[in-house]
Amino acid sequence: MNRYLTLVILFFLAACGSSRNAQQYDAAQNLPWQKDSLIVNGDESDWTAPLSLLDEKLGISYAISNDRENLYVQLITKNETTIQRILRGGLTVYINHHGVKEESGSAGITFPTGNRVQKGDKLLNDRPELQQNKHVAIQAVQDYSLFGFRQIKTPGNFDYGKQNPEGIELGIGLNEQGAVVYEAAIPLSSFLTDAEMRNPGRKNIALGFSLDNVPEQAGERRGGGLSIGGGLGFGSFGTGGGVGLSIGTGSLGRIGGGNRNGKPSRIWKEVVLARGADPK
């Protein structure tokens, strides 16, 4: 009996230790101060390599930093399945200024919105060259969507390379190894309140990355109909309320049902904004 009780106690202590380790692993990470200027153009040459964060399942490396004006995000992947998901299905980056890992109440950027190449009123997103040639798909990137920000509360689409009212900059490209490079410079003033902007350092925020599964190719289609969706889910700025809206991560659309069995992949990271450059 005593031996059994000892085993129970040891198991309980091990479970507690595992829980503490998990909490430490999920603890908010302090962001590095971005002291060097960055050009957002889909080229990672002005970033420090290797990138500090990794999602092994999706084969994504990413980095987040900030200065007094902007939050910077870079993401790189050479995983071909993930590349297809980004280029054909779109990538949504959520920014929750409450520090909560939830889409509700978050601002968001869907870029690219999926290769929605059109000819007249016909959707041509299942063109073989877009599915098979990522260089062609990169060239076909046309627009991006913003929602939940201070000036852009309801979703709005903008032409890639054109300015938007929030001053958000986006870039996507391929490096010499054929990896997709994603960059974003997001003004802190676009998602923080006036009070938070007076002292943004040490402010907790949560960032989420959402990827839809790749829709079925033309030869695999079943059924009929066009479903454009993915359920961004956004709330008006600073409220935490949510409104379901079927645009964004699935804006590529699913012709004939798409990949009905797959669920979007999501990565969340809670971070603490850097206060300023470390004194020397």
Q: Band the pLDDT of 237: cuts 50, 70, 90.
A: very low
pLDDT, one tens digit per residue, over 226-236 is 333 333 444 44
Coil, strand or helix at 197 = helix
> What are the CA-CA distances from residue 167 to residues 42, 55, 71 (Å)?
17, 29, 12
pLDDT for the residue numbered 102: 96
pLDDT for the residue numbered 88: 85
Query: Does the pLDDT of residue 17 top 70, yes or no?
Result: no
E strands, 23-165, in order = 29-30, 53-55, 60-66, 70-77, 91-96, 107-110, 118-119, 122-123, 143-147, 156-159
pLDDT for the residue numbered 220: 43
Of residues 125 and 190, more confidence is placed in: 190
Q: Band the pLDDT of 4: cuts 50, 70, 90.
A: low
Distance CA 119, CA 135 (A): 20
Look up the pTM and report it. 0.73
pLDDT for the residue numbered 158: 96
CB atoms within 10 A of CB 166: 20
Look at the block and give the residue holding tokens 């009070």: 195
Q: Band the pLDDT of 132: cuts 50, 70, 90.
A: low
Q: What is the DSSP string of 199-219?
A: S-TT-EEEEEEEEPPPPPPGG
pLDDT cut 70: percent of the chain above it: 66
**CA torsion sign, 64 to 194 to 113 to 246?**
positive
Q: Which residues lie closer than 8 Å to 162 by C-beta, 6 or more apart?
A: none
Q: Band the pLDDT of 263: cuts 50, 70, 90.
A: confident
Strands 180-187 and 70-77: antiparallel
